[in-house]
Amino acid sequence: MSAVLSDPSATTGIEVAARAEGQDALLTPPALAFLADLHGRFESRRRQLLAARRERQAVFDGGGLPDFRADTRAIRDGDWRVAPIPRALLDRRVEITGPVDPKMVINALNSGANCYMADFEDSTAPTWANLVEGQRALREAVAGTLAFNAGNGKAYALKPFEQQAVLIVRPRGWHLDEKHVLVDGERMSASLFDLGLFAFHNAAALARKDRGPYFYLPKLQSMEEAALWDDVLAHVERQLGLPRGQMKVTVLIETLPAAFEMDEILHALRGRIAGLNCGRWDYIFSYIKTLRAHRDRVLPERAQVTMTQPFLKAYSELLIQTCHRRGAHAMGGMAAQIPISGNAAGAAVANDAAMAKVRADKLREAEAGHDGTWVAHPALIPIAREVFDAHMPGPHQQDVARDDVQVTAADLLAPSKGTISRAGFDGNVEVCVRYLAAWLDGNGCVPIHHLMEDAATAEIARAQLWQWLHSDGLHLDDSTAVDFSLLERALLNLPARLGDRSKLPGGSRVSEAIGVLDRLTHADVLQDFLTLPAYERLP
């Protein structure tokens, strides 16, 4: 039997198969026992739900399409609301997101945003050292003791607690394992490890401060997966002596199947959910992956897949309508642009254009009825705040019911018009290789051509390449056939395009990244996640 919390000295059955600075203070015998208990109670259900994902995808690969569930119509038609939203989460008009290294944690908490999503998922490369450092940084931040010395004479320290952004932690998704922690020889769920270890060390302190703890839950595909999270959180609350519902969550709707179960996901978590979020980049990736066998739904190049595309507009408006009907926040998504600095010719003009795109994106969200939005860089906070302040005088817009919205399954699946240019094809290759090289080198959040790329945006590029190359008869807008010789030429030309690799994040891993991308694009079946095979290469 694995260890349980009631006997914190008994950690037989759990093994930590790695070493990193500071881990002994985190992975104490009681903490390990707590994690082993989570594994023992919930791992079998996680595996069953992952199997259900594969079965569902097989139906789509066979020609089926996602639809609203007949067996849950009573939930969608019912008159119910989620539990009241706590004071700290009532106004979330600007949230900043980013990885969990100490400098980022301090800068994000000090940024002036309403909330900071501390991300163990898409913007953190899950090396063991990164995970341990992230857990340490958040523990010290909650305690108010976190500081960072950059080594160049610049020191970082936290502002007083009352001036900090509200902390929201995003663990990794249900599909990921934590290979460094084994329970009875089995890898532990990365979700349970990330959330469990953070809660074990910080839940009581955050509850005393009336700050949760709060979490973002990623990549759910069904109400059953949401119900598993609800059971996990209820168990954690009992084990840590917290009141039922103390731990609040926001769910990212970033998979196509989940868009058909928004009501059901809210209902499964109705005692603790504060809102849903339009995780647009992962959602585009999921649209490609889910409909990979449907030749009539191939997406154009990424730059043309904006929120004005019919399937994305329908998804956003349905999320707003659903959340506001149930008393939950409808959070907007991330604009990928970041500030462009420097004295190079045209830099100021390019920056103005990029910031105009950010402003337009946030204006679209505010006018549609979203209750807040995401930014990836502190310099974008004033733009987002100005837009939402102008259109949202109160803490949220739940009074915007969007009764005008009538979204059907066909709307959520609508094909997109557009083209594939050579620049779009080559750009996908470059983003995949550069991001993956940086990720393999331990960096999960990478600026590329003035866009902040993370695992979600890299997944769009990777999945698009696979789909384009495996869809017969596609051509670029200059009539060039989209085939593997086009990919080969793009890869051969990439070194010249990249220039001096020593100046790139992960430049020494570029050749390795090219090999990984080449294998993934040639595979007969689209790999579910780029990070699954790449994870085996991380320390």
> Which positions are catalytic?
170, 454
Residue among 149, 178, 145 at smallest CA distance from 161: 145
Residue 481 one-letter amino acid: A
Residue among 158, 233, 249 at smallest CA distance from 199: 233
Cβ atoms of 88 and 212 within 8 Å: the answer is yes
Class of residue 224 by CB neighbours under 10 A (exposed 0-12, middle 13-18, buried 19+): middle
| Cβ count within 10 A of residue 423 | 12
d(CA 128, CA 530): 18
Cβ atoms of 328 and 274 within 8 Å: the answer is yes
d(CA 371, CA 5): 39
d(CA 140, CA 537): 30
d(CA 333, CA 372): 9
Which secondary structure element, helix H or strand E, spans residue 16, and what is its range?
Answer: strand 14-16
Q: Up-side HSE of residue 40: CA atoms within 13 Å toward CB? A: 17
Cβ atoms of 184 and 131 within 8 Å: the answer is no
Dihedral sign for Cα atoms in the order 447, 450, 452, 456? negative
Residue identified by tokens 């001036």 is 163
The residues pairing with 276 across neighbouring beta strands, listed in sequence order, are: 251, 330
Residue among 324, 309, 287, 464 at smallest CA distance from 398: 324
